[in-house]
């Protein structure tokens, strides 16, 4: 038995070494020369081969959405690769449906530019810009969530976005990273303010970017930002609105609420905001103020990990419990959900049972 285990370990070790050698050869030895990328059958780029398509496009000022920084875990960076992409990789298949694979959809962070490519991307991605920003404010909102205000230095006209969208923030190389890294963060600020944006950044265990922001970032530091991205944003309608958020998922919800307050939009709005304990709650005073200034807005916080003897007077349980208890069957609502994938999926399941039209449900999963 011991010999069998040793054999397995040796084979695994050899496999790992071979994989590293192949990666090294592909990155530093192989020379793919200059490659052509034809975009939407009309725009032609000349790039140096060898890099992932995501980064080759980024170097040319075309920014494909990515929440994970090109690690192949968020599946935001999908594009159509019509020619030259090679076979779909095992790292892609968990994120691509059969229909998507049939339609030539690929993860651009996993497709290496080794030869000429023909791709298709949405036209609005050509409108994405790169910004130089300066840190204006850093604030601990909870023990694990930091609020950041970024002032836009360049370009002078600032950013134009829809309430609910997100940006990609790049941090420089530091002792926990081998190169600059970027991640996606939803904007909490109202879109009528073009010169500043507000972000809520949760500290992720061993997270390279969140660790830098929480422990190394300082006021007046300058960073690179790209955006805006995303198809999660406020949709005008006459229906009532149900908002559901946990953790940093409150950010895009705050952007929508601040926009509605500024524009004095009179739809009936209910926000279910779930945290573990009172220590995890933030923006409480502003949300209570909005309840007074937006007469049809109701703020409903709930705690999922609160002891029976706690003086907490509000709701207890998860946000899905609030849906079960307070939302009637087949309610005519627009629903906005932001939080962890598990929370979002649980809410979608409950809403489906309630008979809420999926056409009116918008969500953003925070990985």
Q: What angle do CA 280, 285, 291 make, to 5 degrees?
A: 115
Q: Please tell me whether residues 118 and 132 are part of one structural domain.
A: no
CATH classification at residue 88: 3.10.20.30
Specify if 12 maps to a domain: no
Write out the two tokens for 161.
Answer: 């976005």
Task: Report pLDDT for 16.
Answer: 41
d(CA 119, CA 104): 9
Q: In what order do the strands lie in the sheet with 269-275?
A: 315-316, 297-303, 269-275, 240-246, 333-339, 361-365
Last residue of a domain, one of 229, 251, 285: 229
203, 229, 255 - which closes a domain: 229
State pLDDT tens for residues 194-218: 999 999 999 999 999 999 999 999 9
Please write the tens of the pLDDT for every residue from 114-156. Answer: 999 999 998 888 889 999 999 999 999 999 999 999 999 999 9
117: domain range?
32-125
Smallest CA-to-CA distance from 259 within 198, 167, 191 is with 191
Cβ contacts of 266 within 8 Å, gap of 6 or more: 296
**Is 293 domain-assigned?**
yes
Residue labelled with tokens 């969500």:
363
**212-249 pLDDT tens trace:** 999 999 999 999 999 999 999 999 999 999 999 999 99
Residue 244 · residue 336 · CB < 8 Å = yes
pLDDT confidence of residue 30: 58
11: confidence class by pLDDT, cuts 50, 70, 90: very low
Looking from the CA of 58 toward its CB, the CA atoms found within 13 Å total: 21
User: Which domain CATH number covers 210?
Assistant: 2.40.30.10
- CA distances in angstroms from 215 to 85, 201, 309, 311, listed in the order given: 40, 12, 35, 33
Q: Is the pLDDT of residue 21 over 70?
A: no
Other C-beta atoms closer than 10 Å to the C-beta of 228 total 23
CA distance 109 to 191: 30
């Amino acid at each position: 038995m011991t010999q069998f285990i040793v054999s397995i370990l040796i084979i695994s070790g050899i496999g790992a070494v071979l994989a590293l050698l192949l990666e090294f050869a592909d990155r530093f030895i192989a020379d793919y020369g200059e490659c052509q990328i034809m975009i939407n059958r009309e725009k032609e780029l000349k790039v140096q081969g060898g890099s992932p398509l995501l980064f080759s496009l980024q170097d040319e000022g075309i920014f494909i959405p990515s929440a994970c920084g090109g690690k192949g875990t968020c599946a935001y960076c999908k594009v159509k690769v019509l020619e030259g992409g090679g076979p779909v990789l095992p790292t892609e298949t968990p994120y691509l449906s059969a229909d998507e694979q049939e339609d030539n959809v690929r993860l651009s962070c996993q497709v290496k530019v080794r030869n000429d490519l023909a791709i298709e991307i949405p036209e609005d991605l050509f409108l994405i810009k790169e910004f130089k920003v300066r840190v204006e404010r850093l604030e601990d909102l909870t023990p694990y969530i930091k609020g950041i205000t970024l002032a836009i230095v360049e370009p002078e006209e600032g950013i134009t976005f829809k309430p609910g969208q997100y940006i990609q923030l790049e941090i420089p190389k530091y002792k926990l990273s081998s190169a600059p890294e970027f991640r996606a963060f939803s904007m909490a600020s109202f879109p009528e303010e073009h010169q500043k944006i507000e972000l809520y950044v949760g500290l992720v265990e061993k997270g390279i970017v969140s660790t830098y922001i929480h422990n190394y970032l300082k006021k007046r530091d300058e960073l690179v930002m790209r955006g805006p991205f995303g198809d999660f944003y406020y949709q005008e309608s006459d229906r009532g609105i149900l908002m559901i958020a946990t953790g940093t998922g409150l950010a895009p919800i705050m952007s929508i609420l601040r926009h509605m307050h500024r524009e004095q939009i009179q739809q009936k709005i209910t926000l279910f905001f779930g945290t573990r304990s009172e220590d995890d709650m933030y923006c409480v005073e502003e949300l209570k103020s909005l309840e007074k200034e937006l007469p049809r807005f109701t703020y409903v916080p709930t705690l999922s990990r609160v002891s029976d003897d706690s003086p907490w007077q509000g709701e207890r349980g998860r946000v899905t419990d609030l849906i079960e208890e307070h939302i009637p069957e087949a309610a005519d609502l627009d629903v906005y959900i932001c939080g962890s994938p598990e929370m979002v999926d649980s809410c979608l399941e409950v809403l489906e049972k309630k008979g809420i039209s999926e056409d009116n449900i918008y969500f953003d999963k925070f990985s």
